[in-house]
Structure 1
Amino acid sequence: MNIKNNALLFLLLFTSFSMFAKDYKASLFGINSDGKTLNTTSIQFAINHINANGGGRLVFNVGRYLTGTINLKSNVTLHFDEGAILLGSTNPFDYEKTSASWCYALVVAYDQENIGITGKGILDGQGVEVARNVVENIEKGLTKDSYKYGRPSEGNRPMLVYFKRCKDIKIIDITYKNSASWNQTYDLCKNLTIDGITVDNTTYWNQDGIDIVDCDNVSITNSYIDAADDGICLKSHDANSFCNNIFISNNKIRTSANGIKFGTASKGGFRNVKIVNNIVFDTYRSAIALESVDGGFLENIEIDSLKVYNTGNLIYLTTGERIKGKKSTLKNIKISNVYAEIPATKPDAGYGFEGPIEDQPRNISPAIIIKGLPESIISDVVFKNFVIKHAGGGNAKFANVPLNQIESIPELPAQYPEFSMFKELPAWGAYIRHASGIQFSNIKMQTDKNDFRVPVVLDDVQKSKFSDLKINGKFKNQDVFQNKSTENQVK
């Protein structure tokens, strides 16, 4: 794959475009920087004017610019100098939703090209205030909403950015904070560069950091993401589309959910993704979650040089059947050069919106879970050069699953996938079920405390190879339990 080279080429093209495009100061259009005047109309006029006159940058100098929904147009970049803040209105009725979108957002774009949001400034959605006002409108009967779990649905809480069917997009250096819902979503877009941004999205529920939906040729690099929900999330909403040629590198990610996740929405699929040199820390669920559960495919994924500190689970691979009759596939995955620490305590403890408390008491889950289905096995997955430090300390008095009762672990094909969905599992290191062609080599696993569970459990695993495994300083064949598993090599 030449994803990295393509990303650099697009960045160069975008930089060249910016050099020759005209700059327009926001003040030229009477856009007020007092943080109180609603500027929606004047900002939209400025965008339309720049678009009609050959394109350029709308430059916001130091100040606070209050606005509702604005529509970004082709050949226009919103540029925010350091100290410039675009404030989302706290009135939910200042946001627009069109027939092309399922959600509200502060900055939207549909079917546009050569667009961007750049600079050292900030987009602040004032999400908590907006969400509270949405709740008030629901209670007044002004807004219809399912209102589950004591909060409005994502579709009625505005994101910061929603772009659909756009191409040649640059999101550079900007800080996005305090969305009322997902932070930013790029849907069916092509040639997207995200570089050097900061995401601070921790003040409400469902606050993903970055959502990439059925996009082609995407680069996410050199960014810092702190999110109350999934950090970088690839989704596939369209059965006829898929995420393709994605490059994710040199990012630091902390979340109350999953660090880098594929799914849960996975109707089309994911192909040709490279994830290199990333750090995931203080993350409640999985550092990496690859989930193919809606009838799509997930294949040709390479993950290299991953560092994980203080996370509930290292890697979770799963297939499911949330849509009855729609079989999913997951294959051709390579994961190498990984260091991980799995703690005894809750990894996101102390954050305002922690992940939900799981059923207790329960033992710490295995670091690696590979869970297919009998008719949707996971195949051809390579793990190489791992160091895993697990807290251990499993207590047999908890919900112990004896190895001779392993069939009692449920399949749960239609359930929303999370690594903890199976509750108690009989391994602390790796639990693998319904898989073929799994390769583990040069894997070091150790526990801080003794654990009654075996390190590795295989259930219905075929044609797999496990070599150079070092578990608590030594490895013996009897430390791997094989049930209904055949043609596997353990050295």
Structure 2
Amino acid sequence: MKKQLYTSLFICTSLTCFAQKNYSILNYGAKSSLSYSNTTAIQKTIDAAAKNGGRVIIPAGNFLTGPLVLKSGVELHLNNDAVLLGSTQRLEYGQEGNALISAVDQHHIAITGNGVIDGQGRDLVENVLLLLRQGKLHDREWLLKRPGEKSRPMIISFKKCSQVKMTGITIKNSASWVQSYNECNGVLIDSMKVQSTAYWNNDGIDIVDSKNVKILNSYFNAADDAICLKSEITGGSCENIQVENCTLRSSASGFKLGTGSVGGFKNISVKNLTVFDTYRSAIALETVDGADLQDINISHVTGKNVGNAIFIRLGHRNKDSKYSTLRNVLIDDVKCEVPAGKPDIGYPMEGPPPRVPPHNLVPASIVGLPGHAVQNVTLQNIEIVYGGGAKKQVAFIHPGSLSKIPENAAGYPEFTMFGELPSWGLYVRHAEGIKITNFKCSLEQDDFRPALVFDDVDGLDLKKVALPKSVALPAVIYQGVTHLSATELAIPAGAAAVMIKDK
């Protein structure tokens, strides 16, 4: 695989990018109170600062507000001990559920400082439920599952904005997605803390069809995916994205590309992540709606107490004939612990029960579709410790019956989507150009399954693969594998790999 070149980003990182006249919200009628609405006062301050550019100051104190609109040239700055509280009255957000802070087609906007933005999401949802029962709010999804996303406002929503800066702030307790950056260009997220497990759909951050984005030195604890990149429009894409030095906790996945995957993902660089207590995958790369996913470089990831280490999936849930592509992925230096128990147990919003029948621990996986292979994926310097303890009474796939594993082409992509898998360490199916180098997986308790299974793989290069002494036989299974190279394998004596034919 060719060495990736990361495009340098031009993003305003200094306060000199913004006019520095200060506008205190106190001068426009704002009051520190848990009951007084400051919506009008704060919006007046933003409007005044927008005339020539300037900084809107939220001083120390508690300031309750409804939805605000940020404008070009304005920096919203939260001083130490400043708390901006979102209204818990749903009707203040309008029928469409406007975000607490929004901007559309604006440039050079920022939210900075060491203060807190608290969406008060749990209380807001309680008001939503009250209004639904009273017939004052209408929602088709409510009685089927829970109030829909339009009924539950997010905290920050920026669309088609450029030169966006978000530094230092803490964001907490959203009723839905915490923050979304749609079709933006030039976004800097630095030293942000997100603490949002108040309700469902609490993605820590969503980058949607945006370009030239940096997410640095930040912490995300979310009820849904921690950092999620999406592509939701035809012709759109997430490009030139850099994620570094972040800590993630999620009742879904840690770092994820997808599920929304219509346009594309290109030139994504991720390094130095710590993922902990995460229900699904530490790393999930998913393209299932026709998107082209390519040139992804992920390195230096530590997963502690996660449900799955690596999940790479090319699917086809879109209704037209366009198939996704997934190619040129490098994942390097990953150390993960996958326990036998539920990793997020005890958190306010735990991951949902599996959509599939009972299954044993799920291996790392790379899975495409027949005729639509995942291409050119390299896993190197990978170490995964599994809890083991699998039982045939829970589920069992005979090694000679690999074709019985469902393709599930249109299924929601997640690591449990195939039910029981025939291996415990790594499962690769419908792939081309796969390189596995310096790959070590081990068990805390025995597992009756083979460690590695490769099914329908053209071009497989295994080098320095290490398996535990207690590995079950056969240790490695190849089916439909062509152009195989396997060297320096640390496999216990008598545990040789086998080539099988499907029954």
Q: TM-score, normalised by structure 2?
A: 0.93
Name which of 307, 310, 313 aligns with 2:305. 310
AA in 2 matched with 1:362: H
Structure 2 match to 1:246: 241
SS in 2 for 1:47: helix
AA in 1 matched with 2:160: R
Structure 1 match to 2:17: 17
Structure 2 distance, partners of 1:193, 1:456, is 40
Structure 2 match to 1:61: 59
Structure 1 match to 2:44: 45
Distance 1:148 1:490, change over 3 A: farther
Q: Is the 8 A contact 1:35 1:63 kept in 2?
A: no
Structure 2 match to 1:331: 327
SS in 2 for 1:105: coil
Structure 2 distance, partners of 1:82, 1:2, is 39
Structure 1 distance, partners of 2:109, 2:469, is 54
AA in 2 matched with 1:25: S
Tell me if 1:481 matches 2:480: no
Q: Is the 8 A contact 2:88 2:127 kept in 1?
A: yes
Deviates further, 115-124 or 20-29 = 20-29
AA in 1 matched with 2:88: T
Structure 1 distance, partners of 2:65, 2:144, is 29
Q: Is the 8 A contact 2:162 2:187 kept in 1?
A: yes
Correspondence list, 1:7-156, <5 A: 10-12=11-13, 14-18=14-18, 20-52=19-51, 54-96=52-94, 104-145=98-139, 146-147=141-142, 149-156=144-151
Correspondence list, 1:373-452, <5 A: 373-452=369-448
Q: Is the 8 A contact 1:4 1:247 kept in 2?
A: no
| Higher relative helix content | 1
Structure 2 distance, partners of 1:351, 1:320, is 31
SS in 2 for 1:193: strand
Q: TM-score, normalised by structure 1?
A: 0.95
Superposition deviation, residue 15 in structure 1: 2.6
Distance 1:475 1:423, change over 3 A: closer
Tell me if 1:171 matches 2:170: no
Structure 1 match to 2:491: none
User: What stretches of structure 2 of length at least 5 have no aligned partner?
Assistant: 488-503
AA in 2 matched with 1:307: T
Superposition deviation, residue 484 in structure 1: 1.8
Structure 1 distance, partners of 2:423, 2:367, is 13
Q: Is the 8 A contact 1:135 1:151 kept in 2?
A: no
Structure 2 distance, partners of 1:65, 1:117, is 16
Superposition deviation, residue 413 in structure 1: 1.0
Structure 2 distance, partners of 1:389, 1:165, is 43
AA in 2 matched with 1:104: N
Superposition deviation, residue 45 in structure 1: 1.2
Correspondence list, 1:161-240, <5 A: 161-240=156-235
Tell me if 1:362 matches 2:363: no
Q: Is the 8 A contact 2:427 2:453 kept in 1?
A: yes
Q: Is the 8 A contact 2:210 2:238 kept in 1?
A: yes
Superposition deviation, residue 2 in structure 1: 6.7
Superposition deviation, residue 392 in structure 1: 1.2
Structure 1 distance, partners of 2:298, 2:207, is 18
AA in 1 matched with 2:481: S
Structure 2 distance, partners of 1:464, 1:299, is 19
Structure 2 distance, partners of 1:342, 1:258, is 13
Q: Is the 8 A contact 1:222 1:250 kept in 2?
A: yes
Deviates further, 132-141 or 233-242 = 132-141
SS in 1 for 2:425: strand
AA in 1 matched with 2:175: A
Name which of 281, 284, 291 aligns with 2:279. 284
Superposition deviation, residue 11 in structure 1: 4.2
- For the aligned residues, what is the CA RMSD? 1.7
Q: Is the 8 A contact 2:287 2:293 kept in 1?
A: yes
C-alpha distance after superposition, 1:13-39 (max 9, x if no partner): x43224x52111111111111121111
C-alpha distance after superposition, 1:71-114 (max 9, x if no partner): 0000001100111111110101111467xxxx521000000000
AA in 1 matched with 2:216: T
Structure 2 match to 1:340: 336
SS in 1 for 2:387: strand
Q: Is the 8 A contact 1:334 1:381 kept in 2?
A: yes
Distance 1:134 1:197, change over 3 A: same
Q: Is the 8 A contact 1:226 1:255 kept in 2?
A: yes
Q: Is the 8 A contact 1:69 1:96 kept in 2?
A: no
Structure 2 distance, partners of 1:288, 1:29, is 46
Q: Is the 8 A contact 2:25 2:41 kept in 1?
A: no
SS in 1 for 2:155: strand
Structure 2 distance, partners of 1:138, 1:2, is 51
Distance 1:2 1:71, change over 3 A: farther
Q: Is the 8 A contact 1:104 1:156 kept in 2?
A: no
AA in 1 matched with 2:93: Y
Q: Is the 8 A contact 2:225 2:254 kept in 1?
A: yes
Structure 2 distance, partners of 1:475, 1:11, is 53
Structure 1 match to 2:497: none
Superposition deviation, residue 286 in structure 1: 0.4
Superposition deviation, residue 261 in structure 1: 0.6
SS in 2 for 1:254: strand
Q: Percent identity?
A: 42
Q: Is the 8 A contact 2:7 2:240 kept in 1?
A: no
C-alpha distance after superposition, 1:206-248 (max 9, x if no partner): 1110000000000001001000000000000111110000000
Superposition deviation, residue 437 in structure 1: 0.4
Structure 2 distance, partners of 1:249, 1:36, is 39
AA in 2 matched with 1:24: Y
AA in 1 matched with 2:368: G
Structure 2 distance, partners of 1:115, 1:454, is 54
Report the count of equivalent residues. 481
Q: Is the 8 A contact 1:183 1:209 kept in 2?
A: yes
Q: Is the 8 A contact 2:203 2:227 kept in 1?
A: yes
Distance 1:465 1:2, change over 3 A: closer
C-alpha distance after superposition, 1:237-276 (max 9, x if no partner): 1111100000000000000000011111000010000001
